């Protein structure tokens, strides 16, 4: 309502004519706002879709890089070996190519000869052997590895497994001889032994004469015809003569060595 009377509506017809014009102005303003708002909303939605597409594209490329280049650390973390799948049903089938033997590829795949293969198997199964020939003076009973026994002279070499063996020679008049001997594969070892070298020797000269005892055992009267054979080690020499005091001396006999002792019996029974 206008305060001034001249601006007021004079009748209902003027009011009705005024209302359509105001409504048209309102509709035009609303239409303009809608026309401006629609492009802004469409542009915003398009921008959001573009951003979502870019993010999805980057995430997919990153996953592909990890699966193709990232090392598998499952075994390092768990400490257990990865199992290799044995079921090949899911694997793609590969066409098998049949190789037809020709003059070119026959030389690439030679078939082993039956005799050669059997010989190789026999060499693996059977232990490698060697042999031993023993030459002993005088004779001796031979014991190998506390099992095999024989007496020299041998008729043929003794067949043994290659490697180390323990050998013992026994004679009733000599000390036992023991040693270790190596038998090489497919070879014959010749072992020579002289049992006389197992002894030490005592050459004793007594003046005027005397009965000779070693370790309390009577040996012979002097003069001796040859040096006495003594087992290596420490011994006691005793010489007696009814006209002189008893002579006694300790000595050491060495293997394959001759010890010379000269004794002159007198009232003191001293050594010359």
**Which of 233, 234, 239 has its CA nearest to residue 261?**
239
Instruction: Report residue 32 CA to chain centroid gap.
Output: 93
Task: Give pLDDT, residue 246.
Answer: 93
Distance CA 272, CA 270 (A): 6
Statement: residue 171 has pLDDT above 80 = yes
Domain 199-264 matching CATH 2.60.40: the answer reads yes
Task: Give pLDDT, residue 123.
Answer: 56
Confidence of residue 75 (pLDDT cuts 50, 70, 90): very low
Distance CA 32, CA 84 (A): 71
Q: Which of 24-33, 201-210, 224-233 has the lowest mean pLDDT?
A: 24-33
Confidence of residue 153 (pLDDT cuts 50, 70, 90): very high
Write down the domain spans for the chain.
Answer: 9-61, 127-197, 199-264
DSSP state of 118: H
Task: Give pLDDT, residue 121.
Answer: 53
- Element housing 42 (H / E): helix 12-69
Q: What is the mean pLDDT of residues 241-268?
A: 90
Classify each residue of 180-205 as buried b or exposed e, where b means 16 or more C-beta atoms within 10 Å of its C-beta: eeebeeeeebeeebebeebbbbbebe
Task: Give pLDDT, residue 73.
Answer: 44
Classify each residue of 114-146 as buried b or exposed e, where b means 16 or more C-beta atoms within 10 Å of its C-beta: eeeeeeeeeeeeeeeebbbebebeeebebbbee
Confidence of residue 116 (pLDDT cuts 50, 70, 90): low
Could you tell me which CATH class the domain 127-197 is placed in? mainly beta
pLDDT tens, residue by residue, 9-32: 566 666 666 555 555 555 556 666
Statement: residue 221 has pLDDT above 70 = yes
More confident residue, 163 or 96: 163
Q: Please tell me if the domain spanning 127-197 has the same topology as the one spanning 199-264.
A: yes
State what percent of residues in the chain have pLDDT above 90: 43
SS3 state of residue 122: helix
Q: What is the mean pLDDT of residues 248-255?
A: 93
pLDDT tens, residue by residue, 91-105: 444 444 554 555 455
First to last CA, the chain: 176
pTM of the model: 0.45
Confidence of residue 77 (pLDDT cuts 50, 70, 90): very low
């Amino acid at each position: 309502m206008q305060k001034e009377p001249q601006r007021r509506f004079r009748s209902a017809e003027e009011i009705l004519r005024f209302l359509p014009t105001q409504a048209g102005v309102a509709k035009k303003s609303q239409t303009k706002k809608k026309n401006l708002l629609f492009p802004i909303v469409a542009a915003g939605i398009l921008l959001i879709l573009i951003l979502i597409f870019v993010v999805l594209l980057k995430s997919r490329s990153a996953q592909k890089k990890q699966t193709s280049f990232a090392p598998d650390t499952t075994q390092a973390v768990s400490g257990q070996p990865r199992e290799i799948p044995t079921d090949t049903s899911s694997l793609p089938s590969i066409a098998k190519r049949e190789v037809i033997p020709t003059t070119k590829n026959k030389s690439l795949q030679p078939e082993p000869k039956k005799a050669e293969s059997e010989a190789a198997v026999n060499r693996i199964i059977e232990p490698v052997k060697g042999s031993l020939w023993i030459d002993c003076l005088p004779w001796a009973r031979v014991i190998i590895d506390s099992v095999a026994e024989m007496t020299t002279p041998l008729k043929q070499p003794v067949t043994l497994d290659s490697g180390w063996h323990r050998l013992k020679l026994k004679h009733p008049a000599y000390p036992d001889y023991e040693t270790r001997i190596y038998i090489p594969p497919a070879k014959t070892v010749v072992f020579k032994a002289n049992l006389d070298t197992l002894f030490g020797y005592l050459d004793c000269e007594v003046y005027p004469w005397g009965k000779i005892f070693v370790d309390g055992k009577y040996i012979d009267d002097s003069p001796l015809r040859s040096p006495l054979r003594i087992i290596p080690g420490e011994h006691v020499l005793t010489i007696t003569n009814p006209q002189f005091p008893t002579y006694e001396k300790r000595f050491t006999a060495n293997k394959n060595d001759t010890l010379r002792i000269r004794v002159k019996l007198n009232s003191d029974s001293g050594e010359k």
